[in-house]
Structure 1
Amino acid sequence: MSRAFDAIVIGAGQAGPALAGRLGAAGMTVAVIERKLFGGTCVNTGCMPTKTLVASARAAWVARRAADWGVEVEGGVRVDMRRVKARADSVAGTAREGLERWLRGLPGCTVVQGHARFEDARTVRVGDQRLTAPRIFIDVGGRAAVPALPGIDQVPTLTNSGILALDTLPRHLVVVGGSYIGLEFAQMYRRFGAEVTVIEKGPRLIGREDPDISAEVRAILEAEGVAVRTGAECIRFAPHADGVAVGVDCETGAPEVVGSHVLLAMGRRPNTDDLGLDAAGVAIDARGYITVDDRLATSAPGIWALGECNGHGAFTHTAYDDFEIVAANLLDGGDRSLAARVPAYALFIDPPLGRAGLTEAEARATGRPLRIATRPMSRVGRAVEKGETQGLMKVTVDAGSGRILGAAILGTGGDEAIHGLLDVMNAGLPYTALQRAMPIHPTVSELIPTLLGDLQPAE
């Protein structure tokens, strides 16, 4: 059976459904193809379930610390992992079902379930159906990477999706990979009550960040009892009577760690290996990501790639921005591109890290004269009042133009407060525009003008 449409959207993640809505509103007929769960990574195995778990873990942590705020909790704190999991499942399930219901009700939109494979640059096969369109948009997302490490095929392991199925508490969770996903799960399960060890091949956690941020993140985790092993040059696995033995080979400490459960958090890979992209003339890079230009067009005319599969951001907000770029250019006569995007993201440990623009190291690499300021959260009144003083604020400015090149707020409310700096960066304004602002007291954001007033020439 063959069916013709004005547009085909492959994947119902964060970019695809929104684009289908805009295309349909413009009078086009659209086929949306989804092979499994509507909502993509964010709704099903990413933001929504994990941040729900983070909230439950924080509740347990606050309850245990209640005495610090003068509150007595009798009888201790007990975590019911079945109820914790059920709550996360409910949040994700409600969002998934709502999205599917909305898509199926869109005028001009046809939902097709199954695995899409290209037959040529205008034709996609799903089972016994052949769908054709002059415009095709790929939004297939990604999944956890599982490197071929020694012994990995001999032991049970979990990824960020598999661990969400647990409704019992691991005795000892070993997290292999000391970056964003791994650290969120590490702190979360430590707060639920598990013993947790993080193993990182590199010399420090989240190596993408500046050393001062990385060191402070490590201090936050270790203060809660998370064991951290960096410099693990030869990670390997073997069965053990108590679970899984993970070889570390660090310069100091035991040569192996034995865990009841192992979480692999060692990066992501795109879901592009079974789409028949070669039949459509769609080029990919060495890691499997679809190559796109600044307007998200692929090497095949009439085909665009949005979201994680294009390698320009593994975040919900970057995927949605991809949608906005494509929609503006195709439907609104706009001229938007990736080049104008200011990178921004967060690490959702508690307290969180909000990041915008360049790191200090990246800014120094540009060769520009810089001005830099930092401030410990222990000097932020809001943090002191809440009894959560770990972390720091940091901003890097181009000394010539006064433009903010990058900023980080690691501390209570950091994921929200960073937006004041991010908004100024997106507007292309000098830092002085924010320095003159009158912020609300008492907040974390009120210290941003003070931070900017402390800018000093970089050495």
Structure 2
Amino acid sequence: MSSDYDAIVIGAGQAGPSLAGRLTAAGMKVAIVERHLFGGTCVNTGCMPTKTLVASAYAAHLARRSAEYGVAIEAPVGIDMKRVRARADTVSTNAREGVEKWLRGIDGVTVIQGHARFEGPGVVRVGESVLKAPRIFINVGGRANVPDMPGVGTVDYLTNTSILKLQTVPRHLVVVGGSYIGLEFAQMYRRFGAEVTVVEMAPRLIAREDEDVSEAVRDILSDEGIAVRTSATCIGFKPHADGVAVNVDCTSGEPVVVGSHVLLAVGRRPNTDDLGLDKAGVAVDSRGYIEVDDGLSTNVPGIWAMGDCNGRGAFTHTAYNDYEIVAANLLDGDDRRVSDRISAYALYIDPPLGRVGLSETEAKQTGHKLLVSKRPMTRVGRAVEKGETKGFMKVIADAETKEILGAAILGVSGDETIHGILDMMNAGVTYPVLQWAVPIHPTVSELIPTVLGDLKPIA
């Protein structure tokens, strides 16, 4: 059976459904194909369930600290992991069902469930059905990377997806990978009561960040009793009577860590290996990411790639912005580009890290004359009042143009506060404009003008 459409959207993640809605509003007949769960990674195995778990872990952590606030709670604080998981499942399910219901209710959209594979540049097969369209948009996301480390095939391990199904707290969770996903789960399960060890091959955690950020994050985790093993140069796995033996071989400490559970958090890979992209002539790079230009077009006319599968962003907000770029260029006559996007993201440990633009290390590599300012959260009134004073705020600016180049806010509300700087960078204004703003007291954001006023040349 063959059907013709004006457009085919493969994948119902963050970009696909919104684009389908815009295309039908423009009068197009659209098919959207989803082979598994509507809503993509964020809704099902990413942001929504994990941040729901983070919230439960924060509640447990705050309950244990209740005496500091003059609140009496009987110790020990108990964790009902089945209820914790059920809460996260409910949040995800409601969002997923909402996306599917919305899509099925859009006039002009045909929802097809199944595995889409290309049979040519404008031809896609889903089971027995053949779909044809002059415009095809790929939004298939990604999944956990499982590298071929010694012994990995001999042990049971968790990924960011399977760990969401746990209904008990692990006795000892070994997290392999000291970056964003791994650190969030490490702190979360420590607060649920597990012993936790983080194993990272690099010399420090979250290596893309500045060294002071990495060290501060390590201190935050260590203060909560999380063991951090960096420079783990010989990671391997063996079955053990108590779970899994993880070879670490660090420069210091025991060479083997035995955990009841192991979480592999060592990056992501795109879901592009079974789409038949070669039959359509769509180019991918050595890691499987679909190669796109600044407007998200592939090398094949009439085929675009959005979201995690194109390697141009690894976040829900960048995937949604991909949709905005494609829709604006295709339907509104705009000339939006991925290269105009200012990088911004957050690490959702507690306190969170909000990041925008260049790190200090990256800024130094530009060769420009720089200004930098840094303020500890111990000098932020709002943080003191809340009893959450770990971390710091840092801003980097160009000394000659007075442009803000980047910022890091590691501290209470850092993920929200960073938007004050992000918005000014998007507006293209210089830091003195923000310096003379009058923010609300008492907030974390009110310290941004103060930090800007302390900008000094880097020695």
Q: Same fold (TM over 0.5)?
A: yes
> Residues of 2 paired with 1:199 and 1:413: CA distance?
27
1:403 corresponds to: 403
Partner of 2:307: 307
Letter in 2 for 1:37: L
For residue 22 of structure 1, what is the aligned residue in structure 2? Answer: 22
Report the Cα distance in structure 1 between the residues aligned to 2:365 and 2:97, rounded to whole angstroms.
46
- The corresponding residue for 1:57 is 57
Task: Trace 1:186-225 onto structure 2 (pairs within 5 A).
Answer: 186-225=186-225
In structure 1, what residue type is equivalent to 2:24? Answer: G
1:378-430 Cα distance to aligned partner (Å, 9 max, x none): 11010011000000100000111111000010000000000000000011110
Deviation at 1:317, TM superposition (A): 0.1
Displacement of 1:358 in angstroms is: 0.5
Q: Output aligned runs, 1:413-428, within 5 Å.
A: 413-428=413-428
CA distance in 1, matches of 2:90, 2:208: 34
Q: Output the CA distance in 2 between the equivalents of 1:405 and 1:287.
A: 30
1-structure distance, mates of 2:400, 2:309: 37
**Counterpart-to-counterpart distance in 2, 1:8 and 1:115:** 13
Q: Secondary structure at the match of 2:437?
A: coil
- Whole-Å separation in 2 of the counterparts to 1:76 and 1:359: 41
- 2:295 corresponds to which residue? 295
Match of 1:256 in 2: 256
One-letter amino acid of the structure 2 residue matched with residue 204 of structure 1: R
Q: Distance in 2 between matches of 1:48 and 1:434?
A: 32
Taking the aligned partners of 1:120 and 1:364, their CA distance within structure 2 comes to: 46
Structure 1: distance between partners of 2:163 and 2:142? 17
Residue of structure 2 in register with 1:366 after alignment: 366
Specify the code of the residue in structure 2 equivalent to 1:404. I
**Are 1:146 and 2:166 matched, yes or no?**
no
Is 1:31 equivalent to 2:52 in the alignment? Answer: no
Q: For residue 291 of structure 1, what is the amino acid of its counterpart?
A: E
Once the two structures are superposed, the pairs formed by residues 339-418 of structure 1 within 5 Å of their partners are 339-418=339-418
CA distance in 2, matches of 1:367, 1:279: 45
- Structure 2 counterparts to residues 117-266 of structure 1, below 5 A: 117-266=117-266
Distance 2:403 2:24 in 1: 40
SS across alignment from 2:245: strand
Structure 1 residue 458 displacement after superposition? 1.0
AA paired with 1:429? V
How far the C-alpha of 1:192 sits from its partner, in A, is: 0.3
| TM-score normalised to structure 1 length | 1.00
Query: What residue is the counterpart of 1:72 in the other structure?
Result: 72
Q: Deviations over 1:134-180 (max 9, x none)?
A: 00000000000000000000000000000001011100000000000
CA distance in 1 between partners of 2:121 and 2:41 (Å): 26
Q: Which residue of 1 aligns with 2:332?
A: 332
Amino acid paired to 1:445: S
Cα distance in 2 for residues equivalent to 1:156 and 1:458: 49
CA deviations on 1:206-259 (whole Å, 9 max, x unpaired) are 000000000000000000011000000010000001000000000100001000
Alignment correspondent of 1:82: 82
Read off the aligned partner of 1:195 and give its amino acid letter. Answer: E
RMSD: 0.5
Q: Deviations over 1:23-71 (max 9, x none)?
A: 0111100000000000000000000000000000000000000011111
Q: CA deviation at 1:76?
A: 2.7
- Helix, strand or coil at the partner of 2:262: strand
**Whole-angstrom distance in 1 between the partners of 2:226 and 2:313:** 28
- Distance in structure 1 (CA, Å) of the matches to 2:342 and 2:458: 22
Aligned partner of 1:320 in structure 2 is 320
Secondary structure of residue in 1 paired with 2:186 = helix
Whole-Å separation in 2 of the counterparts to 1:75 and 1:445:
35
**Structure 2 residue 122 is matched with structure 1 residue 93:** no
Aligned residue number for residue 273 of structure 2: 273
Question: Quick check: 67-76 or 341-350, which moved more?
Answer: 67-76
Output the CA distance in 2 between the equivalents of 1:52 and 1:220.
21
Q: CA deviation at 1:74?
A: 2.0
Matched position secondary structure for 1:208: coil
- Secondary structure of the 1:97 match is helix
- Measured in 2, the distance between the counterparts of 1:148 and 1:96 equals 33
CA distance in 1, matches of 2:313, 2:189: 26
Structure 1: runs of 5+ lacking an equivalent: none
The aligned residue for residue 42 of structure 1 is: 42
Counterparts of 1:101 and 1:377 in 2: how far apart (Å)?
44
Q: How many Å separate the matches in 2 of 1:206 and 1:357?
A: 16
* Partner AA of 1:364 in structure 2: K
Q: Report the equivalent of 1:5.
A: 5
Deviation at 1:281?
Answer: 1.0
Aligned mates of 2:82, 2:24 — CA distance in 1: 41
Q: 1:433 aligns to what? A: 433
In structure 2, the CA distance between the partners of 1:75 and 1:224, relative to structure 1 (3 Å rule), is closer
Distance (Å, rounded) in 2 between the aligned partners of 1:223 and 1:18: 43
**Partner secondary structure for residue 397 of structure 2:** strand
- Counterpart code for 2:242: D
Give how far 1:75 is off. 4.3
Q: 1: CA distance between counterparts of 2:55 and 2:289?
A: 33
Partner of 1:104: 104
Give the counterpart letter for 1:297 in structure 2. Answer: S
Distance 1:81 1:64 in 2: 17
Partners of 2:74 and 2:242 in 1: CA distance: 34
Question: Take 1:398 and 1:429, find their aligned partners in 2: how far apart are those partners?
Answer: 12
Give the share of equivalent positions with the same residue, in percent. Answer: 71
For 2:309 and 2:348, how far apart are their aligned partners in 1? 23
Determine the C-alpha separation between the residues in 2 that align with 1:375 and 1:256: 39
